[in-house]
Amino acid sequence: MEKVIFHIDVNSAFLSWEATYRMRELGDTEDLRLIPSVVGGSEESRHGIVLAKSESAKKYGVTTGEPLVDARRKCPGLRTVPSNFPIYVKYSNAMMKILENYSPDIEQYSIDESFIDMTGTQNLFGPPLEAAHTIKNRIYRELGFTVNVGISTNKLLAKMASDFKKPNLVHTLFPEEVPTKMWPLPVSELFFVGRQTTKRLHALGIFTIGDLAKTDKKVITDNLKGHGDVIWEFANGNGDSMDDIANKNRKPANKGYSNETTLAFDVTDSYLAKEILLSLTETVATRVRADKSYISVVSVYYVDNEFKHTSRQMTLDSATNVTNEIYYHVCQLFDQLWNGNPIRLLGVSTSKATNEAHRQYSLFETQNVEKLSKLDSAIDAIRNKYGEDSIKRASFVRPENEDGIKHMTGGLGKAKRDAK
């Protein structure tokens, strides 16, 4: 039996969920989706980064990930609203509950998209197109936001199909439709092809997905190595092992304590990246102390918008479990590591754990490591008793921190736990 895979993708997720929440639960009469608007900051402070934009804002040239001040310059009448991740998680979970009625085989690919294996469900829900419209319409009717549904025989093609014309539509992209529906598209629209790869392909005279598919595979791999092999297969519609191929670019975490977050938007600012790294380090260090351990190796890694994994590690002079000390070295590593490419995933990893702290002289001796350690322990005790939000660093409570960064775990981790 041939597989049937659906890819469900929320249209302009954060903005759509924000609009739905404000209209359904707060009584707003203005639909953010129908005016030039963005999620990512407040009207009062005008700080932050664009997390999501409406189609009207897009027409003014507003882009996801750019500073709000730049977005306002392009669109003077832009409506901005702060992010509300717990609400987004609530809507995401509600959508997943609906999808569970149609198949037991569901993979949540991100907060706003999921794959559903609908193979063998035709007798229950009708042919694929009928079932897709049923799901799409039910989500809108019950939850108030729209989705696109892509249908194919593998995840890659289903995902590509859902990215066709939006919003609130169903598209198919079966293997036999690839030459007519996918090959004419710009090569930049192929999954796994980012800006830098697009430039290199253009230099080879490859401008469409069809150009890539028809080019000798050796030419592509000679120029783009393993990544070239992946995108050549994708261009030819071969996407059964999409997840396995993607994960090849992620280095396995070291044995020890680690934490990572996939970002809601590509990070291009060093200051913001370090805020996220601090959030990750807070959680890692807390776990180390909870086990009464000390670590002597610190690693930082990231995945950029080309899906390339880059990492670096250092061995410390002294084993430690002090948050500030670990974070100091994390920042050192990041400054050495980052080449400026937009970041999609950030991670902090530690290893070589021991139950004893053998200290040698370091920069942190002057800051009295013993006092810092006792302070961390006191903070841990308060958080254990009153919750991890009971104490936060000032950088995570000031008005400027409106990019959805949580003070522990990074990204959406805390919001996901709170919403369960």
3-state secondary structure of 119: coil
What angle do helix axes 270-290 and 369-386 make, rounded to 10 degrees?
A: 80
Beta-carbon contacts of residue 378 (< 8 Å; ≥ 6 apart): none
Instruction: Give yes or no for a contact between 303 and 249, defined as CB atoms under 8 angstroms apart.
Output: yes
Looking at this protein, which amino acid is placed at residue 247? N
DSSP character at residue 100: T
Instruction: Give yes or no for a contact between 305 and 195, defined as CB atoms under 8 angstroms apart.
Output: yes
Say how far apart CA 232 and CA 213 lie, in whole Å: 6
- Which member of 66, 113, 233, 282 is catalytic? 113
Say how far apart CA 33 and CA 43 lie, in whole Å: 17
Q: Which residue's structure tokens are 């080019």?
A: 215
> Is 30 assigned a catalytic role?
no
Looking at this protein, which amino acid is placed at residue 289? R
Pair of tokens at residue 12: 């302009």
Sign of the torsion formed by the C-alpha atoms of 129, 189, 266 and 24? negative
Which pairing describes strands 147-152 and 170-172: parallel, antiparallel, or unpaired?
A: parallel
Task: Give Cα 62 to chain centroid, integer Å.
Answer: 20
Name the residues annotated as catalytic: 113
